[in-house]
Chains A and B, each alone.
Chain A
Amino acid sequence: MASDTDTKRASFRVAFGLLAGAAIAIAGAAWAIGSAARDVFLAQEEEIIPVIAGSDLDRLPAIMRGNRLAETTSMVRGLPQRAAPPRMCEMPDDYFDELEELQPREPGYTKRNEYVRRYQPRRGFLNERELRAAKVAWHYFEKFTMEETGLANSVGNYPSTTLWDTASYMAATVAAYELCIIEKPEFDGRMTRLLTTIKGLDLFRKELPNKVYHTKTGEKVDYTNKPGEIGFSALDIGRFLVWMRIIKNRYSYLGNTIDSVLLKWDYTNVIDSEGVMFGAYVDTETNETVYAQEGRLGYEEYAAKGFALWGFRPILAHRAEPFLTASIFGVQIPYDGRDPRIFHSQNYVVTESYLQDGLELGFDMPHDDSSPDWLHSDGWRAEFADRIYQVQENRWRRTGFMTARSEHNVKGPPYFTYDTIFSDGYPWNTVTPRGDYVPDHAAVASKAALGLWALWDTEYTDVLYEAIIELYDPENGMYEGLYERGQGRVEIYTANNNGIILTSLLHKVQGKILTPYTGATEVWFTAFRDQDARVRRNLPDPPTERDWLPALRHSVQTEADY
């Protein structure tokens, strides 16, 4: 009995020893593997990636940001930049034979909210009638540019102008050169004279250019052309910035001059941190500057893109909201939803702002330097523009009234009218700035007719073309328009009308007017880096992809709405 018990005990001890040895062996193996794995992982974590100065990983201090290039779609997406077209007289005869944009495509939005329009623009060389119209339109500027300042009169021989109309003069000069109406010496002379004058303008309270300047003296004046100051207009400045960018991108040798003009200005109050644009006026009682949000649907987005082209971020100004729609001849016409009774600013729907966006910017986003002309990266702008066109064609088809509505000057009181598609709750409302309803001043605006003709190649715009293309006085330029009620021509000549007509004709030849920037770093972004001026004047840094304005879409009207 005793030996059995001893034998069992010995066996138990052997088994226990084996088990303990196995456990120790497993634990040792686990430790060895864990240690090896830890060494491997820790070795990766400790790897150092060098940050190259100026690279994406380099979080640049403010003083250095100017060295960075503004990011565009071609840089970010690795797409080829759009090519700048040659002057008309330098184009080969078969230039338009193989144009990609002339191929028909399915309309609608893309995944990136780009938009393909249902309509094609007109492209081709100017024919004899169009070239004559271009020369007559340019003659306006030959005649009414003041030698003393290089500024062109807004209206005939009345010696005053705004930045908006000065941009029209710049547009006309670019078109005249690109259409081979003038040559480079004249183009350079005019541009240099103009930019020098603009740089020397006395600003409104040391901020931005006054709304109006005397074209002979260059003095800032009020609306009656007497020395004084009114304030500044964000919309006028926005359009001016569009054309400054166009000229800088096309003619890089003017870049330094252009930058020096814009670097003199103070952008502190014209755009806020949320991207809202503000104009300024003077309180007549206190003589203090009052800043008020400026711009309504149509003009506001166009001007916002002008600011964005220079690195600002007018994100709210560029959005369509708040907007409403009104059904006119089956088309849902978008109009600004801000109540005029509260904001004391009318929501005029006219053709002009959409035309300028289409002709000059191709309905594209400011950072887009690569999309073809048939693809519009600012999609909703192109889609809204199609509605603006469609409702005018529908009116013509339903009522017989040729319709190409815009704001325009008139001869005599009230001097200026908003000839709208919709405003103040009424369709086809023609009103004066003070609000009078003046239907007798309704007209086919020459600039609107030619702009529609350039961007919408349709039977209707052929009719508009026939109505307008010979509507000129060879001594003074293109007439402002043709009265809708049969009173004849709007016998007045303006810089804006002739400038947009030239832009429309240039678009036929070259397509989108804005060309990509082909230079490297810009003085606009590098200047004053060693001072606090950039902060004080709210000068922007070169935009990165994060700073791009968002591309949005809105619901598309698919069928007529009555």
Chain B
Amino acid sequence: MKKLLLTTALAAFVAPSAHAQTATPPPAATDTRPAGAEAFTPENAILNTAIPFAVGAREAQQTLRSAFGWPTFQEGLVQGVYFRFDPDGYARFSPSPRLDTDVFEVICRARTYTCMARKGPMGLVLTSDGRVQMQIDQAQATDTFALNDGFSELQIPPRLNGILDPQMEILLSGGGTLVIRRNGEVFEELSLQGFSAVLAYLRWVAARQDYSVLPRDWPVPNGTAPSVSTTNPGTWPNATLRSAPVLQGSFTPGSEAAAAATVTTDTPEMAALRSEVSLLRDLLLAQTGGTPPAALPATIPVTISPAITPMSPSQNGAVIGDPLGQTAPMGTIATQLDALRQDMGLSDGQTTVPHTTSFGTHAASHGTQDALGMAAKPREADTAAMDDGTAELRHLRYLTSEMGLDGKTALLILQMSMASASGEPLVPSSLQPSASATILQELAEAMAPSGAAAEPVQELFTAARAEDEYDLLGTYFRSVLERN
């Protein structure tokens, strides 16, 4: 009972297509439509199987015994999973070349780019704004979830039935097994092999086979690699694509599209939070390198350890967590902050980052709040927020230094605990996770040893800053010192 036939389970998903086709003249002389026959029409073709999904993929021709069907399909191997897909988007992903075990099956609504992937009771779709929505059949509110990587289990929040935030998407994309427990007993174990490849496929289909939406490390075929312009919304294939949430949905951490979106969707609130995080990050880096904050603009690029690799969770954790774990003279930090603030002479309302979309506004106002687990809140609540922030900081330090978790995981768990404590969903806004992911992305990039990555950090200290940013951070660190 746990394993359901895709075609049965997706009946409701596919059904609209059948209804949609009733609007077209029926091909037969009669007006009744026997089930199944109308399921195939050449108009259902949405993909060109000659365009490889990944390097090494090839288009193949097939001879059919029946009167109709797709004469071509594409098959290949990517990220350890074999795949085949038809022109109508129907695809299968499996670690076995026979595509017979541990299969992700993808089916697309007829004549649309809306597709659904399924493996057992787990279903995946892209939302209208391009994010991943997971559905696990028969899951109950009391079920608990864990990610088993073969060595250990990581408890993850019970919010899989819904839109996944980027952190969760990253976690699940790493593979392993999703363990669902009910009343303490293992209720279901779902292999996540092929998860990331399937998500990439869903996004690739939704973007009309545009490579720009694929992850950064995706093996794009030679000669067809996305150009720089593909990350520019102005050069996307058509207006629909530009405005569609599909590419926003491609806001995968690590993708070039994500980087482009990050640059173009800043709002004052977002910029304020971003600069707040940047400052905190720089302070932490300065602590690591023993450089006084006053000298940060000049010294940060050279004090970053070359050994730090972008997007490495463990190393990120080391950078974020270890300085916090040290018994740094916080009074010195507060003093440096105050001095820096006075030197800058900034005031509220001086933010100059352009406001581009409501997406950016929304994401920023909530995303950073989640990412740091602290106080992008009205000033009336600053004190309470600072208290919370202190506790969270300790919590974060504990997770990174004592538990040995990497920074991203620690932040994730911190968010879970906040959500549990408040009794509210951790992700009140649908766009919040993307902003968090963006910030994490920036953190990773800024910590890269290259000069290009260091430049934005430097700019943080040379550009005009809103005064409340420093008030906020200063207040925060003072509160930390007072508590200690």
Contacts and interface: CB of A to CB of B under 8 A. Distances in A.
A526 B67 CA distance: 34
A433 B63 contact: yes
Given A156-B34, A415-B39, A437-B99, A216 B65 contact: no
B36 to A, nearest CB: 3
Interface residues of A, number: 57
Given A412-B14, A433-B64, A485-B5, A223 B70 contact: yes
B36 A212 contact: no
Contacts of B6: 440
B62 A409 contact: no
B30 interface: yes
B61 A415 contact: no
B68 A224 contact: yes
B5 A223 contact: no
Decide if the interface of chain A is mainly helix, strand, loop or mixed: loop
Given A212-B67, A440-B6, A157 B26 contact: yes
A476 interface: yes
Interface in A271-293: 279, 281, 284
Contact of B39 (A154, A223, A411, A475): A411
Contacts of B38: 156-158
B65 A413 contact: no
A60 to B, nearest CB: 41
A184 interface: no
Contacts of B30: 143-144, 157
B36 A156 contact: yes
Interface in A199-233: 212, 216, 222-226, 230
Given A160-B68, A162-B67, A434-B62, A415 B27 contact: no
B239 interface: no
Contacts of B98: 424, 435-437
A5 to B, nearest CB: 115
A555 interface: no
A416 interface: yes
Interface in A408-452: 409-416, 418, 424, 433-437, 439-440
Interface in B154-183: none
Contacts of A153: 28, 37
Contact of A157 (B28, B66, B88): B28
B65 A158 contact: no
A51 to B, nearest CB: 51
A225 B42 contact: yes
Contact of A222 (B33, B71, B90, B107): B71
A164 interface: yes
Given A226-B42, A413-B88, A440-B6, A492 B70 contact: no
A440 B99 CA distance: 13
Decide if the interface of chain B is mainly helix, strand, loop or mixed: loop
Contacts of A477: 34
A155 interface: yes
A415 B40 contact: yes
A383 B66 CA distance: 28
B64 A411 contact: no
A416 B68 CA distance: 9
A165 interface: yes
Interface in A220-267: 222-226, 230
B86 interface: yes
A88 interface: no
B419 interface: no
A411 B7 contact: yes
A562 B446 CA distance: 66
Nearest to A162: B67
B92 interface: yes
29 contacts: A144-B28, A153-B37, A154-B67, A155-B37, A155-B68, A156-B35, A157-B32, A157-B37, A158-B37, A158-B38, A158-B40, A165-B67, A222-B71, A224-B70, A226-B42, A411-B7, A412-B107, A413-B86, A415-B39, A415-B66, A416-B66, A433-B63, A434-B75, A440-B6, A473-B34, A488-B8, A492-B34, A492-B35, A493-B37
Given A146-B29, A157-B34, A492-B36, 18 more contacts: A153-B28, A156-B34, A156-B35, A157-B33, A158-B27, A160-B67, A162-B66, A223-B68, A410-B36, A413-B7, A424-B98, A435-B99, A436-B99, A437-B100, A487-B5, A487-B8, A488-B8, A491-B36
Interface of B: 5-8, 14, 26-30, 32-42, 45, 60-71, 73, 75, 84, 86, 88, 90, 92, 98-100, 107
